[in-house]
Amino acid sequence: MASGQTPLYMQLADRLRVKIGTEIAPGDKLPSERALSETYAASRNTVRLGLQRLVSEGLISPSQGRGYIVNRQDVLVYNASKSEEKNRRLSAGVDAWVQDIREQGRNPSQQITVGIEKANPLIAGKLNLEEGELLLVRRRVRYVDDQPWSTEDSYYPHDLVRDTPIAEPADIPQGVIAFMASMGHAQVRYVDDVTASMPNPKQEEMLSMDPGVPLLVRTRVGYTDSRPIRVTVTVMPTDRNVLRYELGTHER
């Protein structure tokens, strides 16, 4: 290869990138390494390097037994800080996530279930409870255009919210935060931990995920002046979600 000439594997990646943008749709399978080698008169090693280049760019993902799959690029924004704004909930009349997705021109929906569980060590520690104490758990599977998109599980001390609308498997018109404030448990701050992990088989199936795609996991703890009252764990596939924070103030 002459000095300054683009390596062959990068040339191959460039040609495939154009096809992905014009001919090959998200979710489609790329031709096999052998087929690509024949089409572009390239060695298998060159093909592999070119494919790895596209993997590193997030355009494709390896799929066991299926070769390489083109990743979806229909990424939507989840406003992590605005989700706690009471006035936004009251003005919109719907869940903050629902409003976010509607504003992006898509059709959101949610499936809510409620249950009672014993606190595991992780959640118990975040809520300053003893391991095994009862929790009320609100679980949401969130859909965009009828496709599963993300999940959100919220944990509350059972004695704090039992016999309230929070214990019902339905949306709370004014929002859980405003409702808890009306009960005398006003949230004054929250702390977020954002991590990444690979999905387990149940998560892959529930969220219709492509193989090899990691999850973004946000764990939020909400506090009153005196105690933590809520732990919310939001799980989002990284190929379809952006977690956005807006800090500071601005003029309207």
Integer-rounded Cα Rg, in Å, for the chain is 23
pLDDT digits (tens, 9 = 90+) for 117-171: 999 999 999 999 999 999 999 999 999 988 899 999 999 999 999 999 999 999 8
Is the predicted pLDDT of residue 88 greater than 70, yes or no? no
Q: What is the pLDDT of residue 134?
A: 98
Query: Can you read off the two tokens belonging to residue 213?
Result: 């795609």
> What is the rounded average pLDDT for all residues in the chain?
88
Q: DSSP assignment, residue 141?
A: E
Q: pLDDT band for position 21 (50/70/90)?
A: confident
Q: What are the backbone dihedrals phi and psi of residue 228, each rounded to the nearest 5 degrees, phi first? A: -75, 140
- Compute the average pLDDT of residues 75-96: 72
Is the predicted pLDDT of residue 185 greater than 80, yes or no? yes
Q: pLDDT band for position 93 (50/70/90)?
A: low
pLDDT digits (tens, 9 = 90+) for 28-51: 889 999 999 999 999 999 999 999
- Compute the average pLDDT of residues 71-77: 77
Is the predicted pLDDT of residue 78 greater than 80, yes or no? yes
Query: How, if at all, do strands 67-70 and 60-63 pair?
Result: antiparallel
Q: What is the pLDDT of residue 92?
A: 54
Is the predicted pLDDT of residue 19 greater than 80, yes or no? yes
Q: What is the pLDDT of residue 111?
A: 95
Reported as type and span, the H/E element at residue 108 is strand 108-118
| Structural domains of the chain, with CATH | 8-70 (1.10.10.10), 76-244 (3.40.1410.10)
Q: What percent of the chain has pLDDT over 70?
A: 90
**Which pTM was predicted?**
0.72
pLDDT digits (tens, 9 = 90+) for 194-217: 999 999 999 999 998 877 889 999
Closest to 33 measured CA to CA, from 4, 62, 57, 72: 62
